[in-house]
Structure 1
């Protein structure tokens, strides 16, 4: 069997050439990173959980009319996706003050924001994904004004959907990050949701206790990351209520 051609490898995922033109296979790794990859670890089962959770969210978003790159899940760690031209921005939607926003503006973590705030970061690991303004984005040609209007509208739709999903299972959506890609249909560009949606890319707090159920557990040594992600998956019905945390498969002699 011929080896698949690797197209790209990031901190948490690997992209391989897909079986058909215009497709890719997205593989979810067990690697966990924080603080621009200064802190690293391998968390057994993390990739499996993120694959299943991202599938759940992408399918849910598609059902309410949000276009995504997701086609179908292939196995425990892989999904088939559409190949897109990624816009080099991280789009951050904030509902509650936390993380870098609290540090930059001196707002206490947990303070509800008067409305969802959307921030843009330039995707460049070497630069630490710096915060940029719309003027930078347009001046440097990363996206047009129409693109930005479409991105903001898409991000707010994703926020409405995710907030409702989480609220229904006792979780508060603090903030999240998405990426957007461009596809071409009959020579016309169209923007769609890309990358992933998982606890790796969201801040999720238990409504009653404030317990963190996202990558902050790893960032700040608050417990077992796989347990936190498993709890999110159980509440959403992605995993059975009595399931144990997922681990790597073991070989039996």
Structure 2
């Protein structure tokens, strides 16, 4: 595909203008960051795996009626998505105490929560994506009360479905983040699930060993990041046994060509 004009580059993806109005090409990078971009590195092949995993999850969510921006995967690293106006709120759904929640409240990591918990963060890297409440969101006009009701309802529904989706492959969905965007139809906004859902934005633990299969391996210097992402893809049936070497070979060929 002919490379198009770059619109935006983030920590994990690059966005290019799409082939048709209202579309965007989303390119998945191998760059890895943590702690508000203070730690940086590379996980070779991560972008390829996240592209496939996110495609799989969005497709399954579409089957249960969750509206989303994903249209189709274009190649190993790119997918075509609808262009949306991003709501500047990260929605975090937690099923088990881990990460910042465990630290803030003095909880032992791994403690199951009495029920799924939703938190909101204001999307601003310079401020460290601070935790905010629904009053902040309404006060500053980041989203309407009606939109927040829809977002929260959708988030819990996605969580219910994804807990079952991961449980079926023996993975515990500890927590994950979602982003939403607006598309305008006849002057009325409609909310779509946006961004990606992958081991970059989910905490995923093996249900038997509690082995971490997500970006915490990078955050905590555990090593084995590529193998963890590959394991998630393999359990979903997206990476047949032995195919990981084929992926790496294709990646090396791509780099030699200077794509």
Q: Does structure 1 residue 249 correspond to structure 2 residue 252?
A: yes
Relative to total residues, which structure has the larger helix share, 1 or 2?
A: 2
Residues 190-229 of structure 1 mapped to structure 2, 5 A cutoff: 190-229=190-229
Q: Does structure 1 residue 173 correspond to structure 2 residue 176?
A: no
In the alignment, which residue of structure 2 is the partner of 1:237?
Answer: 237
Residues 111-126 of structure 1 mapped to structure 2, 5 A cutoff: 111-126=111-126
Q: How far is 1:5 from its partner?
A: 1.0
In the alignment, which residue of structure 1 is the partner of 2:37?
Answer: 37
In the alignment, which residue of structure 1 is the partner of 2:88?
Answer: 88
Q: How far is 1:6 from its partner?
A: 0.9
Taking structure 1 as the reference length, the TM-score comes to 0.97
Q: How far is 1:142 from its partner?
A: 0.1
Question: For structure 2, which runs of at least 5 residues remain unmatched after alignment?
Answer: none
Residues 53-64 of structure 1 mapped to structure 2, 5 A cutoff: 53-64=53-64
Q: CA RMSD in A?
A: 1.3
Contact 1:235 1:241 in 2 (8 A): no
In the alignment, which residue of structure 2 is the partner of 1:128?
Answer: 128
CA distance in 2, matches of 1:124, 1:32: 18
Q: Which runs of 4+ in 1 moved over 3 A?
A: none
CA distance in 2, matches of 1:187, 1:59: 28
Residues 19-30 of structure 1 mapped to structure 2, 5 A cutoff: 19-30=19-30
In the alignment, which residue of structure 2 is the partner of 1:69?
Answer: 69
Contact 1:203 1:215 in 2 (8 A): yes
CA distance in 1, matches of 2:97, 2:3: 45
Shifted more, 159-168 versus 234-243: the winner is 234-243
CA distance in 1, matches of 2:141, 2:223: 42
CA distance in 1, matches of 2:59, 2:143: 26
Shifted more, 171-180 versus 220-229: the winner is 220-229
Q: Does structure 1 residue 18 correspond to structure 2 residue 18?
A: yes
In the alignment, which residue of structure 2 is the partner of 1:189?
Answer: 189
CA distance in 1, matches of 2:241, 2:174: 24
CA distance in 2, matches of 1:188, 1:111: 42
